Structure 1
Amino acid sequence: MARRNIADIIGTVIGSGAPIEFVAYDGSRYGPKDAAVRVTIASEQAVSYLATSASLELGLARAYVSGELQVDGDIYTAFKTLGSVDFAPISTVEKLKVLRDVGLRVLKWNPPLPEEAGASRLAHGLRHAKNRDAAAIKHHYDVSNTFYEWVLGPSMAYTCAVFPKADATLEEAQYEKHDLVCRKLDLRPGQRLLDIGCGWGGMVRHAAKHYGVHVVGVTLSKQQAEWGAKAVAEQGLSDVAEIRHGDYRDVVDGPFDAISSIGLTEHIGLKNYPLYFQKLYGLLKPQGRLLNHSIMRPTNTERVRYGRGFINRFVFPDGEITALGRTVAALQDNGFEPRHAENLREHYALTLKYWCQNLDEHWDEAVEEVGIGTARVWALYMAASRLAFEKNKIQLHQVLGVKVGKDGDAGVPLRPWF
């Protein structure tokens, strides 16, 4: 029996009518030549990644990041188009036929790419021990402040913005996000705010400048802390704002009137939720408020699998997310009274749209700054994340909790005030 070429194999999986052109290293083609997106399978190595990786997602990521699989056209459009394709199921027998056709020599061990951060590349220790968390944060956030300036824009806010209107700019939306958090916390002049996972200090500076509070920001990223401290000084806020390079678990100078946690919960680990909320509860005054802003899953039934997927290996090592129900339950079970929850997933899709555009506009500079592999990782993960928020595969929730006073008074108005 004659062996099939790469295009024939793709046709078996994709089926007819997929609006993507595939071009393979063996000279074969599949799909319409006028398609908006072209995918080039540049070498046998790309097939090897697909055949030997723990998942198809990881194989595709390795092939793309290494340059062995190339995408001509917008990556987001490619993802969206592939998402509309009704892939044919592949039996074990068919998989064996595919391997025969492409050559069994592709079944070789491929070492992780330099851009990956599997457990073996993190500090030794248990998942979410302080030293390992520090290594995971360093992998993702200590890439290059210059690179993040290009991607995030002047706000240097690496979390979901809140768009007051559909045509708002990214800077307007990031301002609104910080201000919404301040309003939900009902910040008043002279109060103390703790911002954990403060990043480059956007929330720290906003609260100090516009609400007159004394703010302590904490981040595990050394580069973020250095950049943020410089911005605080340049804006004349050093007498009311401080950014520390450290772990939120080491903060001992409470009590605070309010705590903001914007994009940190994804890094702390599900098993640590009780200790996380207990720590924050202990740092608050009675009637103090916590605003927890984090990515979440759409249901409480999904399992976390470590190290198998693209996001965990390339982007957020040891990252863990769960759904709103489990998050609120952990908040309640460890002292807080939940007062409000809000899903902002559409806002995160819009935020990612702007970040993807910013990276495209600075692509050549970004490649020179961080390398082509890292630039491809960010392009891939931001485009995929945008589509995931649009399709309700992941969500973004803000949850407001209160440390109720001894007499049961939560210190909040009868109706939402923000």
Structure 2
Amino acid sequence: MTTLTLARIVEQFVPDGKLPLRFTAYDGSSAGPPDTRFGLELLTPRGTTYLATAPGDLGLARAYVSGDLDMRGVHPGDPYELLKTLARTDLRRPPARTLIDIVRSLGVEHLKPVAPPPQEALPRWRRVAEGLRHSKRRDADAIHHHYDVSNTFYELVLGPSMTYTCACYPTPTATLEQAQENKYRLVFEKLRLRPGDRLLDVGCGWGGMVRYAARHGVHALGVTLSREQALWGQKAIAEQGLAELAEIRHADYRDIRDGGFDAVSSIGLTEHIGVANYPSYFRFLRSKLRIGGLLLNHCITRPDNTRPAGAGHFIDRYVFPDGELTGSGRIISAAQNVGLEVVHEENLRQHYALTLRDWCANLVENWEAAVAEVGLATAKVWGLYMAGSRLGFETNNVQLHQVLAVKVGRDGDDGELPLRPWWTA
């Protein structure tokens, strides 16, 4: 029997044992180049248990968030460069004989799961007490988990716009605020909104789109499942003198009874509703539009339409419980199948990578205040999540699509839309 150190065990999962960064462990062992900028330091036996019982991103996240694993050479608010280095490494499954040596070296005590960090949500199969997946109660709980962290924390990360969706950068050197304002301008123009029109914004967040539309003379109604978002948004509406044109309701979008809207915007909601619910979702949004009214659906997507819809373990447990993604083709099909005519779509994948870069920069700049507001563990979750997501968009593991559709009448009436795109790119 061969007894392996922790560093030697890690080497067994890397081709030729060549780690791209330095790994050190509490048992005194180490591996990888000693002069590299980046490193992982395993600090406690509990960290070993997390890594052994949940291989992959979930185990890594548990050990890191709990303080049992440290990342060297990066700021916890933006571990992007270290994650990028790790992503270049192809992990392999060691031969059976080596696996036996690994199990014996670790000991049985490290193969028994221990309680995860308190920031982790229950696994999907245990969330049944909260209701069936994407029931109103369970969706409300999922939104509360992610969006009701702290409005102050979100202000530190998102900046003055309080916009938690992909921006649209007019130039590579544009600021985050310029890019978010440009995104709202783009949505507004795609929807052909004019003073006096009526806009419904589902999943409105802190009301950025609602307030933008109201500033341009549009009557805008926003709806969010987050009480904290609704309170913040209504306060901002009052402070900006927009109360006669703008309103934000704390409610499920499915409970909105108003209708006859000139336009509907859905910016970052589709990820939360469940792929199986797309038909009812698009049917509902279509029912809120007048003939010739436009729908703009803006959401994260997968690069194809064949992968499973569920998010990865880390995202599902720490970021977006019950979140689901699919390809833009499936979204377009779902919209078409309920009678909407899709007139345009575009992919803003690179823009989301830039947005996440700038959010991480805000978190780094405001790190001490962020930790004071939500605690070190939660702040680390956000740094890990945003840096990892940036890498995902850069490497085309995820995309961001805007789909524009119109509600046509039985005779094909589309409200006399122009023959070609009418907005400024």
Report the TM-score, using the length of structure 2 for normalisation: 0.95
Deviation at 1:113, TM superposition (A): 2.2
Corresponding residue of 1:64? 64
* Farther-moved stretch of structure 1 (402-411 vs 144-153): 402-411
- Residue-by-residue CA offset, 1:7-47 (whole Å, 9 max, x unaligned): 21222223455331111010111122221111101111111
Query: 1:122 touches 1:135 (CA, 8 Å); kept in 2?
Result: no
Deviation at 1:102, TM superposition (A): 2.1
Deviation at 1:121, TM superposition (A): 5.8
Corresponding position: 1:44 with 2:45: yes
In structure 1, give the amino acid aligned to 2:27. D
Query: 1:123 touches 1:135 (CA, 8 Å); kept in 2?
Result: no
| Residues in 1 aligned to 2:356 and 2:112: alpha-carbon distance in whole angstroms | 36
Query: Which residues of structure 2 form unaligned runs of 5+?
Result: none
Corresponding residue of 1:295? 300
* Farther-moved stretch of structure 1 (218-227 vs 26-35): 26-35
Corresponding position: 1:264 with 2:269: yes
* Farther-moved stretch of structure 1 (23-32 vs 284-293): 23-32
- Residue pairs, 1:2-401, within 5 angstroms: 2-14=2-14, 15-53=16-54, 55-74=55-74, 75-118=79-122, 119=124, 120=126, 124-209=130-215, 211-305=216-310, 309-401=313-405
- Residue pairs, 1:400-411, within 5 angstroms: 400-410=404-414, 411=416
- Residue-by-residue CA offset, 1:264-312 (whole Å, 9 max, x unaligned): 0000011111110111111100000000000001111101347x61001
* Farther-moved stretch of structure 1 (189-198 vs 74-83): 74-83
Deviation at 1:254, TM superposition (A): 1.0
Tell me, what secondary structure is at the counterpart of 2:222?
strand
| Residues in 2 aligned to 1:228 and 1:178: alpha-carbon distance in whole angstroms | 16
Structure-2 change in CA distance of 1:276 and 1:185 (3 Å): same
| Residues in 2 aligned to 1:197 and 1:68: alpha-carbon distance in whole angstroms | 36
Query: Which residues of structure 1 form unaligned runs of 5+?
Result: none
Tell me, what secondary structure is at the counterpart of 1:70?
strand
| Residues in 1 aligned to 2:248 and 2:96: alpha-carbon distance in whole angstroms | 55
| Residues in 1 aligned to 2:96 and 2:158: alpha-carbon distance in whole angstroms | 44
- Residue-by-residue CA offset, 1:197-256 (whole Å, 9 max, x unaligned): 0000111111110x2100000000000000000000100000000011001101111110
* Farther-moved stretch of structure 1 (328-337 vs 9-18): 9-18
Q: Which runs of 4+ in 1 moved over 4 A?
A: none
Query: 2:352 touches 2:393 (CA, 8 Å); kept in 1?
Result: yes
| Residues in 2 aligned to 1:293 and 1:305: alpha-carbon distance in whole angstroms | 19
Query: 1:19 touches 1:36 (CA, 8 Å); kept in 2?
Result: no
Query: 2:310 touches 2:325 (CA, 8 Å); kept in 1?
Result: no
Query: 2:11 touches 2:19 (CA, 8 Å); kept in 1?
Result: no
- Residue-by-residue CA offset, 1:46-91 (whole Å, 9 max, x unaligned): 11111112x4221111111111111022211111111112333323
In structure 2, give the amino acid aligned to 1:263. G
| Residues in 1 aligned to 2:142 and 2:310: alpha-carbon distance in whole angstroms | 17
Structure-2 change in CA distance of 1:122 and 1:150 (3 Å): farther
Query: 2:19 touches 2:31 (CA, 8 Å); kept in 1?
Result: no
Deviation at 1:122, TM superposition (A): 7.6
| Residues in 2 aligned to 1:169 and 1:237: alpha-carbon distance in whole angstroms | 26
Identity %: 57
* Farther-moved stretch of structure 1 (242-251 vs 296-305): 296-305
Query: 2:347 touches 2:401 (CA, 8 Å); kept in 1?
Result: yes
In structure 2, give the amino acid aligned to 1:350. L
| Residues in 1 aligned to 2:97 and 2:368: alpha-carbon distance in whole angstroms | 44
Tell me, what secondary structure is at the counterpart of 2:142?
helix
- Residue-by-residue CA offset, 1:307-333 (whole Å, 9 max, x unaligned): x61001110001011101111000000
* Farther-moved stretch of structure 1 (182-191 vs 308-317): 308-317
Alignment size in residue pairs:
415
| Residues in 1 aligned to 2:93 and 2:365: alpha-carbon distance in whole angstroms | 38
Report the TM-score, using the length of structure 1 for normalisation: 0.96
Deviation at 1:111, TM superposition (A): 2.1
Tell me, what secondary structure is at the counterpart of 1:257?
strand
Structural RMSD (CA): 1.4
| Residues in 1 aligned to 2:225 and 2:242: alpha-carbon distance in whole angstroms | 21
